Amino acid sequence: MKNYLNALLLAVVEAVLVIAGIHWQMDRVLLGGLVCLTVFLAVLLGGTAGALAAGTDPEEIPAAIPGLDTAAGLNRMQGGKTAYLAKLRQFAAGHREVPCRIRADLAAGDLADAERLTHAFKDLLGTIGASPLLQWAAQLEGAIRLGRNRETLDALVDGLEIRVADLARQIDRALPPAGAPK
């Protein structure tokens, strides 16, 4: 079975490269083995080759994403797998910059907007089941509300930013892109 899959993947790669007009020497793929093919597919498919090559169902909820309780998130989405996966993809694609926006509000002295944005972000984190991040955002929200000094707020935003980026990377690695073939 493994040889069949390798041959199939090599044929697909060769066809894609021919269509793209790229001259490809198949002996290089054979010499490089599956590792070269996997790296190529990862670049070609935006980092999701591992999930697609392994036959991951794009509608399957990943079993373990560090920092994410997928069972709790799925429960909050009332069992809607498609909606939950869309929310995870939305988080990974569009919410990495939220800590930067909070930092900008704080730098501008707009504590009310920083608190509102943190609260809304905290709600999203709860919806997807990101409990550790939710707790971090709750600490930041409380610190803003209590008027803590800028050094404390910056440290909390820095910690949130690092953790958000890490969770977004974990989600990107675990999920095939939306609309990927089953």
Calpha distance 163→99 (Å, rounded): 10
Point out which residues pair with 68 in neighbouring strands.
65
Q: Return the domain boundaries, the chain.
A: 2-44, 70-174
Q: Is 65 helix (H, G, I), strand (E, B) or coil?
A: strand
Give me the architecture of the 70-174 domain, per CATH: Up-down Bundle (1.20)
Q: Do you know the residue count of the chain?
A: 182
Q: Is the predicted pLDDT of residue 39 greater than 50, yes or no?
A: no
Q: What is the pLDDT of residues 141-170, one digit of tens each?
A: 999 999 999 999 999 999 999 999 999 999
φ, ψ of residue 130 in degrees (nearest 5)? -95, 70
Tell me the pTM.
Answer: 0.64
Distance, CA of 110 to chain centre: 29
